[in-house]
Structure formats: structure tokens, C-alpha cells
Amino acid sequence: MSNSSAFPDWHGTTILAVRKDGKTVVAGDGQVSMGQTIVKGTAKKVRRLAGGKVIAGFAGSTADAFTLIERLEAKLEQYPDQLARACVDLAKDWRTDRYLRKLEAMLLVADKDQIFTVTGVGDVLEPEHGVAAIGSGGNYALAAARALSDVPGIDAEAVARRAMGIAAEICVYTNGELTVEVV
């Protein structure tokens, strides 16, 4: 029996980042579920970092995600205004450090110019179309945001809110209680 199977089956995150017309938005839902039970509906999974210049959203184990966000904050202090370098450095540490390697979370990190998905296998991925998503409803939010991003007259925040609403209608582990941050 693996160690992870000793823990409850936690689900319930959708994090979406949208960059459009010089504006970047990160939105996250508030649902945390254990199995088929909603444990909390108003969790805050999106945070501002680096004096408000960077936004990070997380999916996965909350304690693990907070550990990663603290590490990311330290990297952002070490490399101010260099989001890509901070993310790559975090991913290197995450991949090589024995303690960090066991963390089960993902980060979606953005500033006004860039969006990155950072994973524990060493990936730092920048989306091609200015839209990225993680979590159980991430693919639904991603597809909706990609479609909505091409609609004229709809800004990044409206795209994010509408796409998250669509994800919440499809994914049972996603709700409509949003935290939305704009940079």
C-alpha cells in the first residue's frame, strides 16, 4: 500500500489564468471535496506575491502548495522582476530536493506579462495562447477561455469569470465561489 493511498481522496480545484489586451487575470474556485463530500466551498487558492506584482494559484495538497508558494516568494525576492527565472529556480529545487519532491501540488503563476504552470516534475510551461489552467476542472476552464478569448469586446476578467462558470457547470469538483486577482 503506497503512502498516498492512506490519505483521503481530496479533490476540488480549478485555477485559470488569462492574459488579454495587456491585462492578466488569475481566478480560482473555492471548493474543496473529500470523496463525494464538499468539505469547504469558500477556500482561497489564489494569492498575490511580490508586493502584488505576481499572482499564484494552486491545486493539490494545501499544505504542500503553501510550502511551494513560500519558496516561490523567496525566489521572487532573490530575483525581483524576473518571474521566469524565479519559476525555473523553484522547479529545479522542487525536482532535486528530497523533501520538495514529495510535495503534491501544482502552481499557476502570472505577472502582467507572463503566465507559467510550474510542476513537481521540473516543468515550467508558458502557454501559447495566453491561457493556462490546472486542477480538476482545469481542462474545462481552459477550453472555455480559449474560445472566449477570441471574442471581441470581452476583457480578460470577463473571459476568466465566464470560463470558470462553465467549468463549475461541468466539473463536480468546481464551484462558482471565485477568487479573482488582476495584474
Catalytic residue chosen out of the listed positions 13, 14, 24, 179: 13
Q: What is the pLDDT of residues 77-120, one digit of tens each?
A: 999 999 999 999 999 999 888 888 888 889 999 999 999 999 98
Specify burial of residue 174 (Cβ count, 10 A radius: 0-12, 13-18, 19+). Answer: buried
pLDDT value, residue 122: 86
Nine cell digits for residue 89: 529556480
- Cβ-contact 15, 134 below 8 angstroms: yes
Based on the residue annotation, tell me whether 179 is a catalytic residue of this protein: no
Q: What is the CA radius of gyration of the chain?
A: 16
pLDDT value, residue 11: 55
Q: What is the pLDDT of residues 117-152, one digit of tens each?
A: 999 888 999 999 999 999 999 999 999 999 999 999
Specify burial of residue 113 (Cβ count, 10 A radius: 0-12, 13-18, 19+). Answer: exposed
- Report whether CATH 3.30.1490.190 matches the domain 3-182: no
Q: Tell me the whole-structure pTM to 2 decimals.
A: 0.92
